[in-house]
Chain A
Amino acid sequence: MAYKYTLEILAGIAIIAFCALFLYTSATMSGAEFAGSDNVGSGLVAELSGIPLENFQPLIPQWEPPSGEIESALFALQAAVGGILVGGVFGFWMGQKKRT
C-alpha cells in the first residue's frame, strides 16, 4: 500500500517539469517561435535540396484549413472523439465492475 499513488505523483512531477522547461525555454531562448517541427523540417528540406520553399507543391491537391481558428477547431474535434472513446469505455468498465 506504500506505493499506492506513486504513478500519480510521478505523472504530476513529469507534467510540472515539462511546463517549467517550457517556461524556461521561452524566457531564455532568443528566436524561439514554437513553430511546428513539421514546418521546421520542411524548411531544412528546402535548404538541403536548394529548392525554395514555395516551389514545393502538393503532388495530390489538398484542402487546407482557411485559418488557424478552423484548424484548431478540427484538432479539437479529433481530441474530442478520442476523449469520448476513452471516457466512454472507462465508464462502461466501471459500470461492469459495480454490477459484478
Chain B
Amino acid sequence: MHIMEGFLPWQWCLVWWIIALPCLMLGIYQLKKVLASDREALPLLGVTGGFIFVLSSLKLPSVTGSCSHPTGTGLSTISFGPWITAVVCAIVLLFQSLFLAHGGLSVLGANIVSMGIVGPLVGYGIYRLLRDTSVNIYITVFLVCAIADLFTYVMTSLELALAYPAETGGVVSSFILFMAIFAITQIPLAIVEGVVLALVFKYIVALKPDILIRLKIFSENQINAARADT
C-alpha cells in the first residue's frame, strides 16, 4: 500500500500530513493515558503492535500476479482503537521510509492515513457495530482484521486517484484502475490475515482474559462464553 516517494504532488503530501498529524497527536495522548492507567496494557500493546511489524514485512504473492503485504492492524484496532494504531503504524512506516525505500518522508502522511487511520477506522466501526451483538467474538475479530486490511488499500487507491484523475472519466475511472491493482490483489491476503489474527486472538483470550475485560474490549460474558467453547 505504499505510495512511493515522489509519486504524489507536494500539495497532496501536505493535505495528507495535515490530516495525519492531529490523529497521531491524539494517539500519543491516548497511549500515555492507557499505559498510565493500566500496567497490563503494555504487554497487550506489544503483542498487537508486534503483529503489525511482522505482517507488514511479509510480501505475499496474489491472484493478480503481483505481490502485496497484509497490514496486521486489526488486533491493535480492537484493543486500543484507531488512533493508537496510527501511532504504531507511523513507527513501522517511518522505518520503511528511512531504510527500505518503501514510501518516503513526503508521502509518509498519505501512507499513515491509509494504513494507520482509514483502514483501522473502518475496522473499528465494524467492531463497535458487532461488539454488543450476539455475533461470535472470533467472527468479529476476523471481519475487523480483514476489512481494516482491505480498506487500507481502498484508501491508497483513492489517494492516488485523487492526485491522478484519468483524462476521461476523472477520479472515478482512475480509482477503479487503482482498485484493480491494489484492492483485488489484497482480497485473498485480507482473508488469510483475518483468519490468522482471529486464531491469535483466541490465544490472547486463553492466556490473558482479564486484560480484555478490564479494557472493556469485550464483555465478561462474551469472553467466558468464548473460553467455554474452546
Contact = CB atoms under 8 A, between A and B. Distances in A.
A58 B67 contact: no
A62 B94 CA distance: 12
Given A45-B160, A63-B99, A65-B101, A34 B61 contact: yes
Interface stretch (B20-28, B117-125, B190-198): B190-198
B53 interface: yes
B54 interface: yes
B53 A40 contact: no
**Range of interface residues on chain A?**
35 or more
A89 B104 contact: no
Given A45-B7, A59-B5, A78 B53 contact: yes
A58 B106 contact: yes
Contacts of A26: 61, 65
A8 interface: yes
Interface centre among A60, A79, A82 (most CB of B within 10 A): A82
A3 B66 CA distance: 36
Contacts of B54: 79, 82-83, 86
B65 A82 contact: no
Nearest to A2: B229
A59 B57 contact: no
B15 interface: no
A25 B63 contact: yes
A86 B51 contact: yes
Interface stretch (B42-50, B77-85, B216-224): B42-50
Interface residues of B, number: 72
A93 B6 contact: no
Contacts of B182: 37, 41
Contact of A14 (B52, B100, B191): B191
Contacts of B56: 78
Contacts of A59: 5-6, 10, 13, 104, 106
B92 interface: yes
B6 A7 contact: no
A90 B204 CA distance: 8
Contact of B229 (A3, A74, A94): A3
Nearest to A55: B6
Interface centre among A32, A41, A81 (most CB of B within 10 A): A41
18 contacts: A3-B229, A11-B198, A11-B199, A15-B192, A36-B66, A37-B185, A40-B181, A48-B174, A59-B10, A59-B104, A63-B101, A71-B100, A78-B95, A82-B53, A86-B54, A89-B46, A90-B47, A97-B207
Interface of A: 3-4, 6-8, 10-11, 14-15, 18, 21-22, 25-26, 29, 31-42, 44-45, 48-49, 56-60, 62-65, 71, 74-76, 78-79, 81-86, 88-90, 92-94, 96-97
Complex A-B, nearest 6 residue pairs according to Cβ-Cβ distance, in ascending order:
A82-B53, A32-B65, A85-B50, A82-B54, A86-B50, A59-B106
